[in-house]
Amino acid sequence: MAQTIAVLDFGSQYTQVIARRIRECHVYSKIYHFSTPVATLRAEGVIGIILSGGPSSVFAKEAPLPDQAIFTMGVPVLGICYGLQLMGHLLDGRVAKSTHREYGHGTLHIQKPGRLFAQLPKKLRVWNSHGDRLIKLPPGFQAIGTTENSEYAAIEDRPRNFYGIQFHPEVFHTERGIDVYQNFLFGVCGAKRNWTMKNFIDHTVAGIRTKVGPGRVLLGLSGGVDSSVAAALIHRAIGKQLTCVFVDNGLLRLGERAQVEALYKKHFRIDVRVVDAAELFLRRLKGVSEPEQKRKIIGRTFVEVFEKSLKTIGHADFLGQGTLYPDVIESVAIGNNPAALIKTHHNVGGLPARMKLQLLEPLRELFKDEVRIVGAKLGLPREVVWRQPFPGPGLGVRVMGEISKDRLDILRKADAILQEEMMASGTYWKVWQSFCVFLPVKTVGVVGDERNYAWVIAVRVVESIDAMTADWARLPYDLLQKISSRITNEVRGVSRVVLDISSKPPATIEWE
Ligand code: XMP
């Protein structure tokens, strides 16, 4: 990219949100480790720098510091929260240590709109979360906004294009926060609006063609958003040089394999090889009930089946993968920054190295919301683009205890009813995940005049932003009633439906 806004990450939980907000303004933004040398930033076409917030204090012994040459590099700098304090500290102002944090809503009184607050009202509700504060301006700076607790809640050094704000414009609680970013991007940095998903597609398609040349690409299609969009994008670039492998591991949902075949093979005319390995997976899983062991067996068997499929497909040069930007950001682990703790699930770990394939990861630069836009632009249907997450080990981690074909079939039928009702009521699109879990517990029910001793199905529906925390969705009783009565009436072998009302934490989203 010719112009980049660098976000130097000092460990804020909002760092990724800052980069996303900038990209929403159609400007390319990238997250860098806080210590990235200026030479690197220059080489990458950085036209403006944002110093993120962070949990540290500038007084801490190990306080994270940037390459100080950023202040003589000649590009605008915007310090947010800890970023503002860093500017105060490093540019000869004074920061006062504080024993308590200011957290929550405040009112920013804009004294001087200048470029940063151009076109904004004189008073703004803003979100604060900081301990230390600036008590003396660095030379060359002046205050442009104040809050109840801070004389220097917003500062500028107009000739050098340095700005500092104590509040967080990237969070939803800050009024008109996006305007603050736009003013910085367009009014201060002179950025162009050229980061669009159409440009991304054109640029990436050309890049894939150059990289792959006459080579062949192999891609494991799971039906999830990331691998689907990666497949559609690579296919647009190189057509028949792409071969996708879809492994039926016997742990798929009802009709899933047929849907994949209909969409990718028939509609997109992608060369998709469906490998039916259900029997092998179920044989290996027989008698296994420990969740981690199940995951290992499923992962290992997948790699084996995938590798074997190469023999019939023939030589390949590249392995296509739907890796996203959050997976490649080098997260800064300071304090309790949750971004540094995200659990990544490596479902195909180690595969490329063993297969001696080069990696082709066309979505490496994108956030999930951008991947969805790309998917829609490439013609993927809403059901794929907005599909709920589904774990790599599939229903294998949703049948509690030992897995068998009978149990999987019961779960598949119950789950299909749940999805049908979620779709019919439009609720499917509003929640993070909705699924059924098979419980290996038998309870008594009555069918007609007879007692029926049968299994229990749990319904799990959660709301979440990023899967790190989740809350159980408050579904309407009528909808729950319909789901429950349909499952107990239509699925043989189920006598009872229960609802999971646990949040994460302390529970997890999946049951295993
Ligand atoms: P938990 O259960 O940890 O799940 O709250 C968080 C998110 O991750 C998904 N998940 C998995 N995804 N392989 C995956 O690809 C796995 O082994 C796996 N386990 C959980 C889960 O569906 C939820 O979205």
Is ligand 1 within 6 A of the CB of residue 362? no
Is residue 511 in a domain? no
The alpha carbon torsion through 148, 149, 151, 153 (nearest 10 deg) reads -90
Place of tokens 């970023």: 83
Judge whether 87 and 164 are in contact, CB under 8 Å: yes
Do 172 and 241 reside in the same domain of the chain? Answer: no
Q: 447 and 377: one domain?
A: no
Query: Could you tell me if 344 and 204 lie in one domain?
Result: yes
* Residue 439, domain extent: 404-499
Q: What is the CATH number of the domain that holds 12?
A: 3.40.50.880
Our answer to whether residue 189 is catalytic in this structure is no
Active site residue 81: yes
Q: Which tens digits make up the pLDDT trace of 64-82?
A: 999 999 999 999 999 999 9
Note whether residue 509 is domain-resident.
no
Q: From residue 310, how far is each of 62, 183, 220, 273 by CA, in Å?
A: 50, 52, 11, 10
pLDDT in tens, 218-264: 999 998 999 999 999 999 999 999 999 999 999 999 999 999 999 99
Ligand 1 atom nearest 507 alpha carbon: 5
CA of 277 to the centre of ligand 1 (A): 22
* Residues 165 and 210 grouped into a single domain: no
> Which of 188, 222, 245 corresponds to the end of one domain?
188
For ligand 1, mutation pick of 510, 511, 512 (most atoms within 8 Å of CB): 510
Q: How far is the CA of 509 from the centre of ligand 1 (A)?
A: 7
Residue 12 belongs to a domain:
yes
Predicted pLDDT of residue 329: 85
Between CA 146 and CA 123 the distance in angstroms is: 10
Q: In this structure, what CATH number is given to the domain that contains residue 210? A: 3.40.50.620
DSSP letter assigned to residue 59: T
CA distance 293 to 279: 18
Selection from 66, 50, 13 nearest residue 334 by Cα: 13
User: What pLDDT, on the 0 to 100 scale, is given for residue 342?
Assistant: 41
Same domain? For 493 and 363 the reply is no
Catalytic residue among 25, 81, 189, 244: 81
Contacts of 330 (CB under 8 A, 6+ apart): 33
**Residues 205 and 181 reside in one and the same domain:** no
CB of residue 349 inside a 6 A radius of ligand 1: no
Which residue, judged by its Cα, is nearest atom 10 of ligand 1?
391
Q: Which long-range contacts (CB under 8 A, 24 or more apart) does 179-183 make?
A: 179/119, 179/120, 180/116, 180/117, 180/120, 181/21, 181/22, 181/25, 182/25, 183/115, 183/116, 183/117, 183/118, 183/119, 183/120
In a domain, 45, yes or no: yes
Please report whether residue 390 resides in a domain: no
Cα(475) to centroid of ligand 1, in Å?
22
Looking at 153, 188, 223, the residue that finishes a domain is 188
The rounded distance, in Å, linking the Cα atoms of 461 and 117 is 42
Q: How large a percentage of the chain has pLDDT more than 90? A: 85
Spot the catalytic one: 102, 156, 170, 370. 170
Residue 206 and residue 290 in one domain: yes
How does pLDDT run across 143-158, given as a tens digit for each residue?
999 998 889 999 999 9
Distance CA 402, CA 386 (A): 31
Helices (runs of H) and strands (runs of E) counted in the chain: 15, 20
pLDDT at residue number 400: 98
Q: Is residue 397 included in any domain, yes or no?
A: no
473 occurs within a structural domain: yes
pLDDT digits (tens, 9 = 90+) for 436-482: 999 999 999 988 888 889 999 999 999 998 898 999 999 999 999 99
Q: Is the CB of 398 under 6 A from ligand 1?
A: no
Say whether both 424 and 343 belong to one domain: no
Residues 446, 420 within the same domain: yes
Q: H or E stretch including 486?
A: helix 477-490
284: confidence class by pLDDT, cuts 50, 70, 90: very high
Residues 289 and 166 in one domain: no
Instruction: Please say which residue of 165, 188, 211 terminates a domain.
Output: 188
Domain contains 318: yes
CA distances for 449 relative to 445, 446, 484, 491, 496, angstroms = 10, 7, 20, 18, 17
The CATH number of residue 494's host domain is 3.30.300.10
The pLDDT of 296-300, averaged and rounded, is 95
Number of structural domains found in the chain? 3
Is 168 an annotated catalytic residue?
Answer: yes
H helix or E strand, kind and range, residue 498: strand 494-499
Residue 205 sits in the same domain as residue 264? yes
Q: Please tell me what DSSP assigns to residue 246.
A: E
Is 348 found in the same domain as 204? yes
Tokens read off for 422 = 């979620």
At 332 the pLDDT is 73
Query: What is the torsion angle, in degrees rounded to the nearest 10, for the CA atoms of residue 163, residue 167, residue 171 and residue 173?
Result: -140
